[in-house]
Amino acid sequence: VMRQYYPESLRCVLVVNLPMLLGAFIPIVRLLLGAKYSHMLHTVSGRQLFDYIDPDNVPRYLGGNNSTDFTEPPVECKYRTEELAHEYGLDPHVVRKAVQKFEPHMIDAKRLFKQRVR
């Protein structure tokens, strides 16, 4: 599961609709990434995203055609976070605490997704 959903390598990282003020920090981020990785970072807005990803694979809230609920894990991803923690020898209390910390954000993401897809 980890190799399928969290690959060890990336071709690029797309930062979508970055506010202009934060865009000023991109050169600094590139320096921190170094020559080996800085070429992978791309900022895109609007239809530029479709230069990298087919519109059918882009969520509607980003201007694409895909109405899949990306706030839910894929059906074939059968492990819960706690089960993965056990499998990789992580402290279940620490993992549970992290899950609880992010749970409100996931609830907000689901609510926003439902509003934007309509």
The answer to whether the CB of 85 falls within 8 A of the CB of 95 is yes
Q: What is the pLDDT of residue 31?
A: 95
Contacts of 18 (CB under 8 A, 6+ apart): 26, 43, 45
Which of residues 64 and 86 earns the better pLDDT score?
Answer: 64
The better pLDDT of the pair 68, 7 is held by 68
Nearest to 37 by CA among 7, 5, 13: 13
pLDDT in tens, 104-113: 888 888 888 7
**How does pLDDT run across 2-55, given as a tens digit for each residue?**
455 554 567 788 999 999 999 999 999 999 989 888 988 999 998 999 999 999
> Is pLDDT of 85 > 90?
no
Domain residue ranges of the chain, discontinuous segments joined by +: 1-67, 69-118
